[in-house]
């Protein structure tokens, strides 16, 4: 088996169905299996997917919503592929991306994880990777509204505009191609994460083991980012928990953690002040929520 493709479903029947169909439509030239994990969807979408695709997928039912990382961990137990591809339910393949990424891993033994270029529904470049791990520099970049990254990385900050593979920090979890042997070496997703930043922590361990993360621009995928999540405040709360967990798990020193907290506090306070002055109530409330979840 070349690739085990894993998709997590939670109340997203139409999106997940479209993602699965795009895999069947675009993927050729490799042997693959498609594993769908339902995160105990209360709308019954998991059973609908199981009934619709019947024996075309490996269906795994979770008895609770365990989040992104732990749901993928369930699927890892069933995966038979030499490589494992994590694909979000709100994605659509534009080309034979899975074969392109799998072949890339097979031909580059120093790479432990790779991903393609993501596009939004209007076919504009979307966030496909991060050049750096969360750190003091990461927080400085946020404080200065992305300017430091633009100075350092130019237009290739989070999307690969080149025609060549690019070494990056973190491939977003929407399309991660992982080498199974590397995953067995470093371990699966940390169960302390519910969602967000678990891919950063896993990639951190992959890089510590001596492997690289690469962006492969020839693999092209639409990412309907946000379509599978609608509550921005709840999403922010989960993101904040994930980021704090990442810093704890990756053993940032005491001084670094203090600097990170101060930088983030300044970021939040300045945003609250700015959006209060210009009268943007929605964004002011968003950053006020961020302050509560610090």
Same domain, 80 and 196: yes
Tell me the CATH number at 123: 3.90.550.10
Q: How far apart are the C-alpha atoms of 102 and 116, rounded to whole Å? A: 11
Q: What's the pLDDT at 252?
A: 67
Same domain, 249 and 190: no
pLDDT more than 90, % of the chain: 62
Task: Look at residue 263 and tell me whether its pLDDT is greater than 80.
Answer: yes
Same domain, 236 and 216: no
Task: Look at residue 231 and tell me whether its pLDDT is greater than 60.
Answer: no
Residue 233: band (very low, low, confident or very high) from pLDDT cuts 50, 70, 90: low
Compute the mean pLDDT over every residue in the chain, rounded to the nearest whole number. 90
Same domain, 169 and 246: no
Range of the domain at 60: 3-223
Q: What is the pLDDT of residues 88-114, one digit of tens each?
A: 999 999 999 999 999 999 999 999 999
Same domain, 249 and 213: no
Identify the weakest region by mean pLDDT among 124-128, 159-163, 194-198, 217-221.
194-198
Q: What's the pLDDT at 294?
A: 63
Residue 113: partners with Cβ closer than 8 Å, 6 or more residues away: 171, 176, 177, 178, 179, 182, 203, 206, 211, 213, 214
Same domain, 259 and 184: no
Q: What is the pLDDT of residues 196-212, one digit of tens each?
A: 889 999 999 999 999 99
What's the residue count for the chain? 294
Same domain, 143 and 277: no
Q: Are 196 and 238 in contact (CB under 8 A)?
A: yes
Q: How many CB atoms lie within 10 A of CB 175?
A: 27
Same domain, 25 and 106: yes
Task: Look at residue 293 and tell me whether its pLDDT is greater than 70.
Answer: no
**Final residue in a domain of this structure, among 192, 223, 254:** 223
Q: How far apart are the C-alpha atoms of 193 and 277, rounded to whole Å? A: 36
Same domain, 24 and 109: yes
Q: How many CB atoms lie within 10 A of CB 117?
A: 22
Q: What's the pLDDT at 182?
A: 96
Give the pLDDT mean for 143-163: 89
**Final residue in a domain of this structure, among 190, 223, 256:** 223
Q: What's the pLDDT at 161?
A: 96
Task: Look at residue 116 and tell me whether its pLDDT is greater than 60.
Answer: yes
Q: How far apart are the C-alpha atoms of 62 and 286, rounded to whole Å? A: 32
How many domains in the chain? 2
Task: Look at residue 265 and tell me whether its pLDDT is greater than 60.
Answer: yes
Q: What is the pLDDT of residues 25-69, one digit of tens each?
A: 999 999 999 999 999 999 999 999 999 998 899 999 999 998 889
**Final residue in a domain of this structure, among 203, 223, 243:** 223
Same domain, 24 and 136: yes
pTM of the model: 0.89
Identify the weakest region by mean pLDDT among 71-85, 100-114, 235-249.
235-249
Structure tokens at 141: 């970049």
Same domain, 162 and 191: yes
- Residue 8 burial class via C-beta count within 10 angstroms: exposed 0-12, middle 13-18, buried 19 and up: buried
With CA atoms as reference, report the closest residue to 256 among 170, 97, 197, 264: 264
Residue 244: band (very low, low, confident or very high) from pLDDT cuts 50, 70, 90: confident
Residue 17: band (very low, low, confident or very high) from pLDDT cuts 50, 70, 90: very high
Residue 111: partners with Cβ closer than 8 Å, 6 or more residues away: 104, 105, 179, 211, 212, 213, 214
Q: Are 115 and 154 in contact (CB under 8 A)?
A: no
Give the pLDDT mean for 110-119: 97
């Amino acid at each position: 088996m070349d690739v085990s493709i894993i998709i997590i479903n939670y109340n997203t029947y139409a999106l997940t169905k479209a993602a699965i169909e795009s895999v069947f439509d675009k993927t050729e030239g490799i042997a693959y299996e498609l594993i769908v994990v339902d995160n105990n969807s209360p709308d019954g979408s998991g059973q609908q997917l199981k009934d619709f695709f019947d024996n075309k997928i490996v269906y795994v039912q979770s008895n609770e919503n365990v989040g992104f990382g732990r749901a993928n961990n369930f699927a890892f137990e069933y995966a038979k592929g030499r490589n494992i591809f994590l694909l979000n339910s709100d994605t659509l393949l534009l080309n034979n991306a899975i074969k392109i990424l799998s072949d890339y891993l097979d031909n580059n033994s120093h790479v432990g994880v790779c991903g393609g270029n993501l596009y939004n529904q209007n076919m504009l470049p979307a966030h496909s990777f991060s050049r750096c791990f969360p750190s003091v520099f990461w927080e400085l970049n946020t404080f200065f509204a992305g300017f430091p990254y633009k100075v350092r990385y130019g237009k290739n900050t989070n999307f690969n505009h080149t025609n060549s593979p690019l070494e990056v920090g973190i491939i977003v979890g929407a399309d991660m191609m992982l080498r199974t042997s590397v995953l067995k070496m470093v371990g699966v997703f940390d169960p302390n994460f519910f969602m967000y930043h678990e891919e950063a922590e896993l990639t951190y361990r992959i890089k510590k083991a001596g492997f690289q993360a690469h962006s492969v621009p020839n693999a092209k995928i639409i990412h309907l980012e946000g379509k599978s999540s609608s509550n921005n405040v709840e999403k922010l709360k989960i993101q904040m928990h994930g980021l704090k967990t990442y810093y704890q798990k990756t053993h940032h020193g005491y001084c670094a953690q203090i600097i990170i907290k101060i930088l983030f506090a300044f970021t939040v306070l300045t945003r609250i002040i700015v959006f209060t002055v210009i009268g943007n109530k929605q964004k002011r409330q968003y950053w006020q929520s961020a302050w509560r979840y610090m």
